Amino acid sequence: MTATIPVREGLFRETDDGPTLLAGECTECGRIAFPVSERCLECGEDRIKICELGSKGELLCATVVHMGNGRLNPATASATC
């Protein structure tokens, strides 16, 4: 089996059913945000608890960032979505 390597620590955890995304739930207003932040985006509370979102979901938005790699100028790069 291939090892899972996270892009960034704290985005998900392995469970018996496979990986599950981790979000932060505000203990004051209940807002859930992914990824986890230090403060609630709604009320500013700093008491955030980690909650599991599960392994399935719907992607609503995505961003592609183009950066030069020494051989390719990002201004001349193109992408198709």
Q: Domain residue spans in the chain?
A: 12-76
pLDDT, position 64: 74
| pLDDT of 78 over the 60 cut | no
| pLDDT, tens only, 8-23 | 788 888 888 888 899 9
First to last CA, the chain: 31
Q: What is the pLDDT of residue 47?
A: 96
